[in-house]
A and B are shown apart, each in its own frame.
Chain A
Amino acid sequence: MQDSAQFGDCVQKLLNDFKLYDKAVDIVSCWQFLFTEVEQYSKNVLLFDRFPRLSSPSTPKDQPKTPDFAVLLSDEYGIVADIKSGFPLDDKGFLSHAGRLLKYDLPLSFKTGVDSRSVIPSDHDILLVIPMRDAQEIVRRIEKFRAAGDLRIDRNLIAFEWVWDSDQNEYVFRKVAGQTCDFRDASLPANIRLSSIFTERGASLKVSPDKIKSIKAAWQFCNDTPPPIYTLVFLWTKVFYHLLDAGQRQLWRRRDPRKVLWIEVSTERLVEEIVRRYPIRWGHWTDWARAALDVLVSAGLARKIAEDKYTVGYRNLVRELGEPTHGATGTEVTSHPREYARILATYICRATGGELTQEAPATDERSQGELFRR
Chain B
Amino acid sequence: MPKQLHLRGYEFIDRWRDTLRLAARECTKRKRVKIYFVSFLSETPAHVALAESEHAIDIDKKDDYWVAHLSAKKAGKTARVDFGIFRSGVNAWTLFTLTESIWRENVLLHLVRSLSPDFSLPYLSSADIRQLLQHLEEDDAVEIVVNKAVAYSYRREGQISFKKEPFQDVFNRAEHENMFVDKVDFSVHGQSSLHGFVARNGTAKFISGDIELFLNKILNAVLNTSARKHEVFQRAARRAGEIEVFPVNIDFGQSVFHGRDDNLTFLSSLDHMTRSGLAVMHENPYIHVSLIDFFDGSAFDIFATSPNSVTIIPQVDASAFSLNRLCNHIFENFREGAINKPQPKTWQLADVLT
Q: Residues of A with Cβ closer than 8 Å to B?
A: 19, 22, 26, 33-34, 37-41, 164, 166, 169, 191-192, 197, 203-211, 213-214, 216-219, 233-234, 236-238, 241-242, 244, 249, 252-253, 256-257, 276-280, 316-318, 326-331, 333, 336, 338-341
Q: Which of the 9-residue segments B29-37, B62-70, B214-222, B275-283 touches chain A?
A: B275-283
B306 near A210 with CB under 8 A, answer yes
B160 within 8 A of A: no
B268 within 8 A of A: yes
What are 6 A-B pairs at a CB distance below 8 A?
A39-B349, A238-B315, A238-B316, A241-B294, A249-B296, A338-B271
Report the separation of the CA atoms of residues A328 and B157 in the bound assembly, to the nearest whole angstrom. Answer: 9
Contacts A22-B281, A257-B275, A327-B268 given; does A238 touch B286 at CB 8 Å: no
**Min CB gap A255→B, angstroms:** 10
Of the candidates A204, A210, A317, which one forms a contact with B305 in the assembled complex, judged by CB atoms under 8 Å apart?
A210
Q: For chain B, residues 282 to 330, give those with C-beta under 8 angstroms from any C-beta of chain A.
A: 282-283, 285-286, 288-292, 294-297, 299, 301, 303, 305-306, 311, 313, 315-317
B264 near A339 with CB under 8 A, answer no
Chain A residue at minimum C-beta to C-beta distance from B240:
A277
B316 near A277 with CB under 8 A, answer yes
Report the separation of the CA atoms of residues A74 and B41 in the bound assembly, to the nearest whole angstrom. Answer: 50
Q: Which residues of B contact A327 (CB under 8 A)?
A: 268
Of the candidates A169, A238, A278, which one forms a contact with B290 in the assembled complex, judged by CB atoms under 8 Å apart?
A238
Report the separation of the CA atoms of residues A192 and B245 in the bound assembly, to the nearest whole angstrom. Answer: 27
B261 near A331 with CB under 8 A, answer yes
Chain B residue at minimum C-beta to C-beta distance from A317:
B277
**Min CB gap B285→A, angstroms:** 6
B177 within 8 A of A: no
Q: Which residues of A contact B169 (CB under 8 A)?
A: none
B266 within 8 A of A: yes
Contact with A along B101-140 (1 / 0, CB 8 A): 0000000000000001000000000000000000000000
A218 near B263 with CB under 8 A, answer no
Of the candidates B242, B267, B352, which one forms a contact with A205 in the assembled complex, judged by CB atoms under 8 Å apart?
B352
Q: Which residues of B contact A256 (CB under 8 A)?
A: 275
Q: How large is the interface on B (under 10, 10 to 19, 20 to 34, 35 or more residues)?
A: 35 or more
A339 near B349 with CB under 8 A, answer no
Report the separation of the CA atoms of residues A256 and B262 in the bound assembly, to the nearest whole angstrom. Answer: 30
B48 within 8 A of A: no
A214 near B313 with CB under 8 A, answer yes
**Min CB gap A353→B, angstroms:** 25
Q: For chain B, residues 87 to 107, give those with C-beta under 8 angstroms from any C-beta of chain A.
A: none
**Min CB gap A281→B, angstroms:** 12
Contact with A along B136-170 (1 / 0, CB 8 A): 00000000000000000001010000000000000
Contacts A169-B285, A330-B268 given; does A249 touch B297 at CB 8 Å: yes
B265 within 8 A of A: yes
B303 near A213 with CB under 8 A, answer yes
List the count of A-B residue pairs having beta carbons below 8 Å apart.
172
B155 near A330 with CB under 8 A, answer no
B305 near A209 with CB under 8 A, answer yes
B353 near A197 with CB under 8 A, answer yes
Report the separation of the CA atoms of residues A335 and B278 in the bound assembly, to the nearest whole angstrom. Answer: 13
Contacts A328-B157, A339-B280 given; does A333 touch B352 at CB 8 Å: no
Interface centre among B157, B240, B263, B349 (most CB of A within 10 A): B349
B346 within 8 A of A: yes
Please provide the 5 A-B residue pairs with the shortest distance between their CB atoms, ordered closest to farther: A330-B264, A330-B265, A241-B297, A257-B294, A340-B279
Report the separation of the CA atoms of residues A291 and B268 in the bound assembly, to the nearest whole angstrom. Answer: 31
Q: Which residues of B contact A208 (CB under 8 A)?
A: 305
Q: Which residues of B contact A217 (CB under 8 A)?
A: 245, 247, 301, 303, 313, 315
B78 within 8 A of A: no
Report the separation of the CA atoms of residues A333 and B265 in the bound assembly, to the nearest whole angstrom. Answer: 8
A213 near B247 with CB under 8 A, answer yes
B301 near A203 with CB under 8 A, answer no
Of the candidates B267, B316, B352, which one forms a contact with A336 in the assembled complex, judged by CB atoms under 8 Å apart?
B267
B2 within 8 A of A: no
Chain B residue at minimum C-beta to C-beta distance from A166:
B285
Interface centre among B238, B241, B268 (most CB of A within 10 A): B268
**Min CB gap A308→B, angstroms:** 24
A237 near B299 with CB under 8 A, answer yes
Report the separation of the CA atoms of residues A341 and B278 in the bound assembly, to the nearest whole angstrom. Answer: 9
A206 near B352 with CB under 8 A, answer yes
A279 near B267 with CB under 8 A, answer no
Q: Which residues of B contact A280 (CB under 8 A)?
A: 243
Q: Which residues of A contact B352 (CB under 8 A)?
A: 33-34, 38, 205-207, 211
Of the candidates A40, A214, A252, A331, which one forms a contact with B245 in the assembled complex, judged by CB atoms under 8 Å apart?
A214
Q: Which residues of B contact A341 (CB under 8 A)?
A: 279-281
Contact with A along B12-29 (1 / 0, CB 8 A): 000000000000000000
B261 near A330 with CB under 8 A, answer yes
A213 near B313 with CB under 8 A, answer yes
B272 within 8 A of A: yes
A40 near B348 with CB under 8 A, answer yes
Report the separation of the CA atoms of residues A339 and B155 in the bound assembly, to the nearest whole angstrom. Answer: 19
**Min CB gap B328→A, angstroms:** 18
B244 within 8 A of A: yes
Report the separation of the CA atoms of residues A208 and B313 in the bound assembly, to the nearest whole angstrom. Answer: 17
Contact with A along B187-226 (1 / 0, CB 8 A): 0000000000000000000000000000000000000000
Report the separation of the CA atoms of residues A46 and B38 in the bound assembly, to the nearest whole angstrom. Answer: 54
Chain A residue at minimum C-beta to C-beta distance from B280:
A339
Contacts A39-B346, A210-B306 given; does A237 touch B265 at CB 8 Å: no
Q: Which residues of B contact A279 (CB under 8 A)?
A: 241-243
Report the separation of the CA atoms of residues A57 and B225 in the bound assembly, to the nearest whole angstrom. Answer: 60
Report the separation of the CA atoms of residues A327 and B269 in the bound assembly, to the nearest whole angstrom. Answer: 10
Q: Which residues of A contact B10 (CB under 8 A)?
A: none
Report the separation of the CA atoms of residues A243 and B291 in the bound assembly, to the nearest whole angstrom. Answer: 18
Report the separation of the CA atoms of residues A20 and B4 in the bound assembly, to the nearest whole angstrom. Answer: 63
A233 near B290 with CB under 8 A, answer yes
Chain A residue at minimum C-beta to C-beta distance from B155:
A328
Q: Which residues of B contact A236 (CB under 8 A)?
A: 277, 279, 292
B292 near A209 with CB under 8 A, answer no
Q: Which residues of A contact B346 (CB under 8 A)?
A: 39
Of the candidates B263, B271, B282, B351, which one forms a contact with A326 in the assembled complex, judged by CB atoms under 8 Å apart?
B271
